[in-house]
Amino acid sequence: MRNYGFIVSYDGSRYEGWQRQVRTKETIQGKLEETLEKITGEKARVIGAGRTDAGVHALGQYANVHLEGTYPADKLEDAWNRALPDDISIHHLEEKEDRFHSRFSAKTKHYRYRIRLSPEKDVFARRYVWQLGKPLDVESMKKGAALLCGTHDFTSFCGNKHMKKSAIRTVEDILLSEEKGELHMDFYGDGFLQNMIRIMVGTLVEIGEGKRKAETIPAVFEAKDRAKAGFTAPPQGLSLVEVIY
C-alpha cells in the first residue's frame, strides 16, 4: 500500500462542495475518485485537508490517497490530470509516509475571501469575487477581525445547526488589504466549521456597513447562537489558498 499526496486546484462553481455525496456526482472528491478508478482500476478514498462548501474554490487544497499498486508519481499525475475535467487539476504528486493524513497532519489552513468594492463590475472575475460594489469601513472591520482571532467556541459562526462535535477552533490571524478596487480578507487557522469563514465575512461586512459594532463580537461568541452573527457571504468569493504542514 502506497500513500500519495498532492495539491488540488479547482474552480468550485459547478460543484456541490468537496465531499462525495450520494445524491450527486458533482463533487470534487467524487470526481477525483471516479477518474482515479478509471486509470488504476482501484476504488480508493481521496482524503482532503478541508471540506470546501458548494461553489467555493481552491488554489492549494491538499489531499492524499492510499493505493495498492505502485505507480511512478509523474506518470500517475499526468494520467490523472488527463482524465479529470478542465476545472480540476492536480500537481506536486509525491509518495508520502504511510501515517501522513491530509487533514489531521495539517497545522494551518489559509483561505482568502475577495470582495469588489469598486462600482465597476469585473465580468471576468464574477465567479471568484463577491461583486458587492460599494465602499466599506475597512478600519472598523479590522477591529472586528482582531476580536475574531484567538481560540473560541465558534458555534455562532457555524452553518450546521445539528453539529455535535466541538466548535472550538483557533483563528490565528485575519488580514484585510485593499488592492485595485478589491478587499482581500485572508484567514489563517487550524480548522474551520461549515460556513464559518463566510459567516465571519458576513459579520465583518455588517460592521463595514455600519450595521453592527465591532465591540459586539464577544457577545456573539458568548451567545452560541447562529442568529446572533452576521449573514453568510456568497460562496464564489472564497478560495482555499494553501495548507501548511
* Residue matched to cell numbers 499525475: 77
The x, y and z cell numbers of residue 234, run together, are 456568497
β-strands 47-48, 57-67 pairing:
antiparallel
11 catalytically annotated: no
Distances (CA, A) of 157 to 140, 201, 208, 220, 227: 19, 10, 18, 9, 9
Between CA 54 and CA 59, with CA 56 as vertex, the angle to 5 degrees is 140
Catalytic residue among 53, 86, 190, 225: 53
Counting Cα atoms < 13 Å in the Cβ hemisphere of 15 gives 24
Question: How far is residue 69's CA from residue 66's CA, in Å, rounded to a whole number?
Answer: 9
Q: Which residue has the cell 492510499?
A: 66
C-alpha cell at 95: 509518495
Calpha distance 36→41 (Å, rounded):
8
Give 130's DSSP letter. Answer: B
- Find out whether 133 and 121 touch, Cβ atoms under 8 Å: yes
What distance in Å separates the CA atoms of residue 17 and residue 35, rounded to the nearest whole number? 17
Cross-strand pairs, 48: 63
| Cα gap 128→131, rounded to integer Å | 9
Give catalytic residues, as residue numbers: 53
